[in-house]
Amino acid sequence: MTTLPPATDKKLGLVIDLDICVGCQACATSCKEWNTGGYSAPLSDHDPYGADPSGAWLNRIHSYEFGEGAAAKTVHFPRSCLHCETPDCVTVCPTGASYKRVEDGIVLVNPDTCIGCKLCSWACPYGAREYDHDDGVMKKCTLCVDRIYNETLAEEDRIPACVRACPTGARAFGDLGDPDSDVSRSVAARDGFNLLDEFGYRPVNKYLPPRKTSVPLDLSETPPPETATGTTAIEKLFAWVDRTLSS
């Protein structure tokens, strides 16, 4: 059924800390590795080692620059399905293959009933859905639905592959519908925000902004590079050589 549930029991999602993400792509490759063998399998690639590689990825990492000169800032920006509360990607689906789960709010595509019309990808302002040309169906982040409830895995592995792989702890997973959960607390403490909030799909995933730099960088006061000076005989010798060669 592609009508949206009026409410979901949980709002499982990700919180991504843009302050500490280093853009290493570990989450993207880990996602690809898990999901090409999991619920979304396969995630086909075309010409992966050739001149025009392409393929379905459920998580992509952009890097953006802001500002100029000393105030410039680089922000690494992971982007995947935000598991919105009121997304049109679900309601436009003609077959009911695209749906939002009542129990945890995860937005999924049923690969057995998807006809590959691509309309859901047109309805997503975040560009989060990618069509698999080999499989003929739409692919998207499943929040690793086949890991988080998987009792055959060790307990610490029952989180999305991207969260498990992140070496800096920039990704967290939890119930954003529970105000007392760790993820909800971090969103409250750090002014977590929605992407393209104005669009009105009410994303569940939240982003934490880069922290304000506490000490502003002033390049005009940068000291000149050190010249070779010293107190020991050998350092004085080198200083003399330096002065002589510089003159």
Binding site residues, other proteins, CB under 8 A: 1-3, 18, 23, 28, 52-57, 60-67, 73-75, 77, 79, 88, 90-97, 113-119, 121-127, 130-133, 135-137, 193-199, 207, 209-210
Amino acid in position 12: L
Q: How far is the CB of 89 from other proteins (least distance, A)?
A: 10
Q: Which is nearer to other proteins, 77 or 238 (CB)?
A: 77
- Identify the burial level of 1 via C-beta atoms within 10 angstroms of its C-beta, where 0-12 means exposed, 13-18 middle and 19 or more buried: exposed
Q: Minimum Å distance from CB 117 to other proteins?
A: 6
Nearer to other proteins, 110 or 229 (CB): 110
| Min dist. Cβ of residue 72 to other proteins (A) | 10
Nearer to other proteins, 55 or 148 (CB): 55
In the complex, the smallest distance separating the C-beta of residue 213 from other proteins, rounded to whole angstroms, is 11
Cβ closer to other proteins: 122 or 149? 122
CB of 153 to other proteins, least distance (A): 28
User: Distance of CA 234 to CAs 229, 230, 243, Å?
Assistant: 10, 8, 14
**Of 118 and 243, which has the nearer Cβ to other proteins?**
118
Q: Which is nearer to other proteins, 52 or 156 (CB)?
A: 52
* Closest CB 179 distance from other proteins, rounded Å: 21
DSSP for the chain reads: --SPPS--S--EEEEEETTT-----HHHHHHHHHHTTSTT----EESTTSSS-EE--SEEEEEEEESSGGG-EEEEEEEE----SS-HHHHT-SSS-EEE-TTT--EEE-TTT-----HHHHH-TT---EEETTTTEEE---TTHHHHT-TTS-GGG-S-HHHHH-SS--EEEEETTSTTSHHHHHHHHTT-B-TTGGG----S-EEEPPPPPSS---GGGPPPPPP---SSHHHHHHHHHHHHHH-
